[in-house]
Amino acid sequence: MLALYKIKKMNRIKPSLPKGTRDFGPNEMEKREYVINKFKEVFNLYGFKPIQTPSIENTETLVGNYGNEGDRLIFNILNSGNFLKDSKREDFNVPKRLKSKISNKALRYDLTVPLARYVSMNQDKLTLPFKRYQIQPVWRADRPQKGRFREFYQCDVDYIGTNSRICEAEIIDLVYTIFEKLKIKSFDFKLNNRKILQGITEILGISDNFNELCVIIDKIDKIGIEKFEKELKINNYNSSSITSLIEIFQFRGTNKEKISFIKKKISGSKIGIEGINEIKNILNFNKNFSLDFSLARGLSYYTSSIFEVKSKNNDLGSLCGGGRYENLTEKFGVKSMPGIGISFGIERIIELLANNDILQSNYSKNKILISFLDAKFIPQCLKIAKKIRENNISVDLISDNFKLKKQLKYANKNKIPYVLIVGEDEINSNLYTLKNMQKGKQEKKSIDEIISKMNSIVNNA
Amino acid sequence: MLALYKIKKMNRIKPSLPKGTRDFGPNEMEKREYVINKFKEVFNLYGFKPIQTPSIENTETLVGNYGNEGDRLIFNILNSGNFLKDSKREDFNVPKRLKSKISNKALRYDLTVPLARYVSMNQDKLTLPFKRYQIQPVWRADRPQKGRFREFYQCDVDYIGTNSRICEAEIIDLVYTIFEKLKIKSFDFKLNNRKILQGITEILGISDNFNELCVIIDKIDKIGIEKFEKELKINNYNSSSITSLIEIFQFRGTNKEKISFIKKKISGSKIGIEGINEIKNILNFNKNFSLDFSLARGLSYYTSSIFEVKSKNNDLGSLCGGGRYENLTEKFGVKSMPGIGISFGIERIIELLANNDILQSNYSKNKILISFLDAKFIPQCLKIAKKIRENNISVDLISDNFKLKKQLKYANKNKIPYVLIVGEDEINSNLYTLKNMQKGKQEKKSIDEIISKMNSIVNNA
């Protein structure tokens, strides 16, 4: 017995979390679920439907989509069983080869590639346009730092199989609706069109490295116009095209004025004019955006509309962003599948709201703790609990025979707004003491009266 | 250009899913979310609160908890970056050593060990009793087969830090409430106490390999009493103790009769009497279970009450099960932390309900598709959509200028019960055609009337 105990003791370990991961306790979960449910509610309101894909994808599905840097951040899963069975001793000298032999699966890195795989595999079953949303965790072997985790949720909404500008109009509206429900007020919905950027580079004769240029343009917001100019010089752009770019990106005015301005600049570019017409088309449907020619978005797969929403009043930066793409499923050899998507920085939004009033309500609305003054009242307490719960009112019941003071403390710690006290008097009179934990007041009521009271609280909430 | 095209073509891959994993499309998600939300609703009704733990745990947290067989089924994650940096060439000869050097993290295998780790790490912050629920996926490198997947959800509810029999009473009630809400009617709530089993083995003088015997007893239900007898013989139990075990396990009667029966059998065992008293204590609070001395549960960490709920009318077997344990956090060196938990086979329950009426409602309740007969009506359609959505009615809008027939087909495929048609007449009269897709009927109504109609449908649902 002692020997066994010692072995057990030796095996004890200090409990810890892997680097860059988090637990979410009840308080955090309350906030996370509130925000996630609001998103789901609005997605449903706009006719989007949920899908979920596995956490694990085949490595070949994932690699090659995120650039060399991204590919390095993919978490690989060791083959199960005898993981070395396909390897030779020599493979040890070529880590990349060894890796491909001991691991063929990896953790989801984003929600876009799984969507492309899903659409490719289910193309015959889907009714187009396919409107899906997906809220799931992704994993990245990034260096953890404040606010950056190795496991975090993404939240994507996409239309697949449509080229209509109604999508942009609806997405703009959806963003406003979500942020209104979450009481996020100060933000800019910025919109641009990659075709306009292409037009500009064509006219300036600098269209050779379009995607590289987009990456530089995308940084203007962070680095400012002076550093932007410097970076263009380093990359050997000539001074006249740099001057023109800066003039365009610094132009201020209404959307209408911006359109007239850019039309004059790029009237010689067919693709540029196409981009302008697409934006005009969106303006017919929805005017709630501000045209921003310096919005470029880093990802090379966007081909037309691109957009980004930035919070105005703090350093949280981008709240969501997305764009239109021409071929989501190319990698999987499926016929051209255009679409348009928006990705919400849901972790960032939760963080933004965590300190806000709407998520700081300290007490649940309709929750009661039943507290008994003596163990002999337990059967009666259980009956009362059952009856109250039948009215969809949440009831907690202290399982142990604590002193009343400790029970009240439990209620406070668990944000339970009412405590129903069951003692000798209460049992005899059938009138129970109901203590309001926030106001400290207490009154005697029948169970039916207590149920009515709780229901009226919820209905007036 | 052609060269580039060829390279791209070469990189194309056939889209596929890793063995044992699944996508959940909109139809499956509807069912899954319905069931999961019911569980959450009832857990909340009983005062349990959600937590979530990371998908990734340190390997040392996980291994050693699930037996050798279980440990082999853990999915290990390759260290990121240069995964070979701590390995030597010789490690290649000792796979186990190599593994420990190239992987220090693994995927969550169940929800119990993460709970133990969470409680150990947060012991100073938690208010006891701590009532948590957790619904998250787990991963096991099991051989995939029909109904068995490598990624699946678990759903656990636990009380931590309490020894009160109120917990059992509440858990029984919670199970009945959930299954009532899910319209699952035919099931048995079986309860036993490990101490009674210990008492039986003490009296029979076969208590040496108690946990092994429990594993055999646990199989009676599957293998029948004859094979059970055979297996005991193979394991060298003497025939008189086999006869006694079979007599006990075959005894039929009310809970009261069973208690009198077993009391006579094991009155000489102190621990056995303790078990009987614990069950009597539960009976004071809740009688909705049937005592079953042949219920043993495989897991050795249960020390007192054990329970299991079996579906009666099909081959789905166990719907949920659990028990009381004395020390959840032993591995992490934390002071004794008793508790009681129940684990719902949520995947099995979803499967059971998938073919049931309640999850077969073909149409959403309050959803409208707005369909335009000409593209010029789009701005008006968007206005109508906005107004209807402001009343929390879900509106879908075909983004492309399809023929009406195709739009109606889209509504049917997406289970949208009403189509609002916008044409010249409608715009002029401000009365819109509302087509009921299930009945095929259509009528003309103002937008306000349509909103009232949809609201009344929801309120009467």
Tell me whether B86 touches chain A (CB under 8 Å): no
Residue A63 to chain B, least CA–CA distance (Å): 11
CB contact under 8 A, B333 and A51: no
Q: How confident is the model at residue B363 (pLDDT cuts 50, 70, 90)?
A: low
Tell me whether B80 touches chain A (CB under 8 Å): yes
- pLDDT surpassing 90 at residue B444: yes
pLDDT over 90 percentage in chain B: 75
- pLDDT surpassing 90 at residue B12: no
Residue A111 to chain B, least CA–CA distance (Å): 13
- d(CA B401, CA A164) in angstroms, rounded, equals 9
When pLDDT is averaged across residues A240-265 and rounded to a whole number, the result is 96
Beta carbons of A282 and A215 less than 8 angstroms apart: no
Taking all residues of chain B, what is their mean pLDDT, rounded to a whole number?
91
Collapsing DSSP to helix, strand or coil, B87 comes out as coil
Beta carbons of B389 and B395 less than 8 angstroms apart: yes
Name the least confident of A351-360, B73-82, B246-255, B431-440.
A351-360
How far, in whole angstroms, is CA A432 from its chain's centroid? 45
User: What are B257's two structure tokens?
Assistant: 């009769």
User: What are B108's two structure tokens?
Assistant: 């969550």
Domains of chain B (ranges, CATH numbers): 20-186+312-360 (3.30.930.10), 194-301 (no CATH), 362-459 (3.40.50.800)
CB contact under 8 A, A105 and B44: no
Pairing mode, strands A394-397 and A367-372: parallel
Q: Which amino acid is at B454?
A: M
Name the least confident of A145-149, A280-284, B3-7, B206-210.
B3-7
Beta carbons of B118 and A23 less than 8 angstroms apart: yes
pLDDT of residue B16: 95
- pLDDT, one tens digit per residue, over B297-319 is 877 789 999 999 998 876 677 89
Name the least confident of B14-18, B320-324, B395-399.
B395-399
Residue window 39-68, chain A: list those with CB within 8 Å of chain B.
44-47, 49-58, 60-61, 64
- DSSP assignment letter at B351: H
Q: How confident is the model at residue A2 (pLDDT cuts 50, 70, 90)?
A: very low
Residue window 328-357, chain B: list those with CB within 8 Å of chain A.
330-334
- pLDDT surpassing 60 at residue A4: no
Tell me whether A94 touches chain B (CB under 8 Å): no
Q: Which residue of A has its CA nearest to B93?
A: A89
- d(CA B88, CA B97) in angstroms, rounded, equals 10
Tell me whether B88 touches chain A (CB under 8 Å): no
Tell me whether A141 touches chain B (CB under 8 Å): yes
Q: Which residues touch A193 (CB under 8 Å, ≥6 apart)? A: A275, A276, A278, A279, A304, A305, A306
User: What are A458's two structure tokens?
Assistant: 């919820």
Tell me whether A36 touches chain B (CB under 8 Å): no
Residue A121 to chain B, least CA–CA distance (Å): 6
Residue B89 to chain A, least CA–CA distance (Å): 7
- pLDDT, one tens digit per residue, over B112-171 is 999 999 999 999 999 999 999 999 999 999 998 888 899 999 999 999 999 999 999 999
pLDDT of residue B7: 39
In A146-238, which residue ranges form alpha helices assigned H by DSSP? 166-181, 194-204, 210-217, 220-234
Beta carbons of A324 and A304 less than 8 angstroms apart: yes
Asked whether the CA dihedral A77, A83, A88, A89 is positive or negative, the reply is positive
End-to-end CA gap in chain B: 59
Residues in B closer than 8 angstroms to A72, CB to CB, are 80-81
When pLDDT is averaged across residues B60-68 and rounded to a whole number, the result is 89
Q: How confident is the model at residue A3 (pLDDT cuts 50, 70, 90)?
A: very low
Tell me whether B271 touches chain A (CB under 8 Å): no
Can you list the pairs that A59-62 forms with residues at least 24 positions away whose Cβ atoms lie under 8 Å? Answer: A59/A100, A59/A103, A59/A104, A59/A105, A59/A106, A60/A104, A60/B13, A61/A113, A61/A114, A61/A117, A61/B13, A61/B15, A61/B16, A62/A106, A62/A108, A62/A109, A62/A113
CA neighbor of A79 nearest in space, from B73, B313, B151: B73
Taking only Cα atoms into account, the Rg of chain B, rounded to an integer number of angstroms, comes to 29
Q: Which residues touch B218 (CB under 8 Å, ≥6 apart)? A: B295, B296, B297, B298
- pLDDT, one tens digit per residue, over B263-308 is 999 999 999 999 999 999 999 999 999 999 999 987 778 999 999 9
Q: What is the ipTM of this complex?
A: 0.93
The beta-carbon neighbor of B382 closest among A15, A73, A169 is A169
pLDDT of residue A311: 86
- pLDDT, one tens digit per residue, over B190-218 is 999 999 999 999 999 998 888 889 989 98
- β-bridge partners, A20: none
pLDDT of residue B398: 84
CB contact under 8 A, A141 and B21: no
User: What are A157's two structure tokens?
Assistant: 């909404």
**Choosing among A56, A133, A171, which should be mutated to test the B contact, i.e. which has the most B CBs within 10 A?**
A56
Q: How confident is the model at residue A461 (pLDDT cuts 50, 70, 90)?
A: low
Residue ranges of E strands in B37-150 = 49-50, 56-58, 76-77, 105-107, 130-139
Residues in B closer than 8 angstroms to A45, CB to CB, are 389, 392-395
Q: Which residue of B has its CA nearest to A181?
A: B390
Residues in B closer than 8 angstroms to A392, CB to CB, are 45
Neighbour-count burial of B215, counting CB atoms closer than 10 A to its CB (0-12 exposed, 13-18 middle, 19+ buried): middle
CB contact under 8 A, B151 and A56: yes
- pLDDT surpassing 90 at residue A298: no
- pLDDT, one tens digit per residue, over B367-386 is 999 999 999 999 999 999 99
pLDDT of residue B11: 64
When pLDDT is averaged across residues B91-98 and rounded to a whole number, the result is 90
Residue window 420-459, chain A: list those with CB within 8 Å of chain B.
none
When pLDDT is averaged across residues B434-450 and rounded to a whole number, the result is 95
Length of chain B: 461
When pLDDT is averaged across residues A29-34 and rounded to a whole number, the result is 93
Q: Which amino acid is at A461?
A: A
Tell me whether B71 touches chain A (CB under 8 Å): no
- d(CA B338, CA B57) in angstroms, rounded, equals 23
pLDDT over 70 percentage in chain B: 94
Residues in B closer than 8 angstroms to A50, CB to CB, are 26, 29, 33
Tell me whether B150 touches chain A (CB under 8 Å): yes
Collapsing DSSP to helix, strand or coil, A364 comes out as coil
CB contact under 8 A, B50 and A33: yes
Collapsing DSSP to helix, strand or coil, B111 comes out as coil
Tell me whether A154 touches chain B (CB under 8 Å): no
- d(CA A76, CA A313) in angstroms, rounded, equals 39
**Choosing among B163, B166, B282, which should be mutated to test the A contact, i.e. which has the most A CBs within 10 A?**
B166
Q: Which element (helix H / strand E) includes B221?
A: helix B220-234
Collapsing DSSP to helix, strand or coil, A329 comes out as coil
Residue A296 to chain B, least CA–CA distance (Å): 24
Residues in A closer than 8 angstroms to B56, CB to CB, are 18, 21, 75, 139, 150-151
User: What are B127's two structure tokens?
Assistant: 């208010």
pLDDT of residue B13: 87
**Choosing among A32, A77, A300, which should be mutated to test the B contact, i.e. which has the most B CBs within 10 A?**
A77
Q: How confident is the model at residue B349 (pLDDT cuts 50, 70, 90)?
A: very high
Taking all residues of chain A, what is their mean pLDDT, rounded to a whole number?
91
CB contact under 8 A, B52 and A23: yes
Residues in B closer than 8 angstroms to A26, CB to CB, are 49-51, 132
CB contact under 8 A, B92 and A95: no
Tell me whether A8 touches chain B (CB under 8 Å): yes
- pLDDT surpassing 70 at residue B31: yes
Tell me whether A84 touches chain B (CB under 8 Å): yes
CB contact under 8 A, B44 and A394: yes
pLDDT of residue A11: 64
Residue window 229-258, chain B: list those with CB within 8 Å of chain A.
none
